[in-house]
Copies of this chain bind each other. A is one copy, B any other.
Amino acid sequence: MTKSLKTVQLSHGGGGKEMDQLIKSVFFEAFNNPILCSEEDAAKLHLSGPVAFTTDSFTVAPLFFAGGNIGKLAIAGTVNDLAMMAAQPEYLSCSFIIEEGFAIDDLVTIVNSMAAELHQSGARIVCGDTKVVPKGCADGLFINTTGIGRIIYPDVSANNIVAGDAIIVSRDIGRHGATILMAREGLALESELTSDCATLWPIVEQLIAANIPIHAMRDATRGGLSAVLNEWAKASNIGIDVNESAIPVADEVKGLCELFGFEPFDLANEGTFIIALPQAIAQGAIEVMQRYGHCQQAAIIGHATSAHSGKVVLTTPWGSHRYLDLPQGELLPRIC
Q: Give the residues in chain B near A129, CB-CB below 8 Å.
A: 55-57
From DSSP, what is the main secondary structure of chain A's interface residues?
A: mixed
A119 at interface, CB cutoff 8 A: no
Judging by beta carbons under 8 Å apart, are A48 and B48 in contact? Answer: yes
- Interface check A238, CB cutoff 8 A: no
Q: A168 contacts the other chain (Cβ, under 8 Å)?
A: no
What's the Cα separation between A296 and B15 when bound, in Å?
27
Taking a contact as CB atoms closer than 8 A, the residue among B16, B47, B58, B266 that contacts A48 in the complex is B47
Taking a contact as CB atoms under 8 Å apart, the answer to whether A95 and B46 are in contact is no
A91 touches B53 (CB 8 A): yes
Which residue of the partner chain B has the closest CB to A53? B43
Chain B nearest CB from A157 CB (Å) reads 6
Indicate if the CB atoms of A133 and B127 lie closer than 8 Å: no
Is A31's beta carbon under 8 Å from chain B? Answer: no
For A20, the chain B residues whose CB sits under 8 A away are 326
Contacts of A51 in B (CB 8 A): 44-47
A142 within 8 Å of B (CB atoms): yes
A95/B57 in contact, CB under 8 A:
yes
A17 contacts the other chain (Cβ, under 8 Å)?
Answer: yes
Find chain B residues with CB under 8 A from A87 CB. Answer: 42
Q: Is A146 an interface residue (CB 8 A)?
A: yes
| Cα(A214)–Cα(B57), bound, Å | 35
Complex-state Cα separation, A115 to B251, whole angstroms: 48
- The answer for the CA separation of A328 and B235 in the assembled complex, in Å, is 53
Contacting residue for A44 out of B15, B56, B85, B218, CB 8 A? B85
A324 on the interface (CB 8 Å rule)? no
CB distance from A326 to the nearest CB of B (A): 5
A185-193, A201-209, A219-227, A280-288: which lies at the interface? A219-227
Binary B-proximity of A222-258 (CB < 8 A = 1, otherwise 0): 1110110001000100000000000000000000000
Interfacial residues of chain A within 25-83, with CB under 8 A of chain B in the complex: 39-59, 61, 81-82
For this complex, into which size category does the number of interface residues on chain A fall? Answer: 35 or more
Q: Which residues of B sit under 8 angstroms from A334, Cβ to Cβ? A: 131, 133-134, 137
Q: Which residue of B has the minimal Cβ distance to A139?
A: B137
B55 touches A15 (CB 8 A): no
Query: A266: nearest residue on chain B (CB-CB)?
Result: B16
A223 near B14 (CB under 8 angstroms)?
Answer: yes
Say yes or no: A94-B55 contact (C-beta < 8 A), given A14-B329, A328-B11. Answer: yes
- What CA separation (Å) do A53 and B40 show in the bound complex? 10
8 Å CB contact of A16 from B15, B95, B329: B329
* B residues near A128, Cβ cutoff 8 Å: 55
B16 touches A132 (CB 8 A): no
In the complex, the chain B residue whose C-beta lies closest to that of A20 is B326
Closest residue of B by beta carbon distance from A222: B15
Report how far A252 CA is from B99 CA in the complex, Å.
Answer: 32
Q: How far is the CB of A152 from chain B (nearest CB, A)?
A: 13
Interface residue A126 (Cβ < 8 Å from any Cβ of B) = yes
Instruction: For the A-B complex with A15-B221, A16-B223 known, give 11 more contacts whose Cβ atoms are closer than 8 Å.
Output: A11-B328, A11-B329, A14-B223, A14-B331, A16-B329, A42-B85, A55-B93, A55-B94, A55-B129, A55-B146, A59-B97
Closest 6 CB pairs of A and B: A15-B222, A15-B223, A42-B54, A55-B93, A16-B327, A146-B146
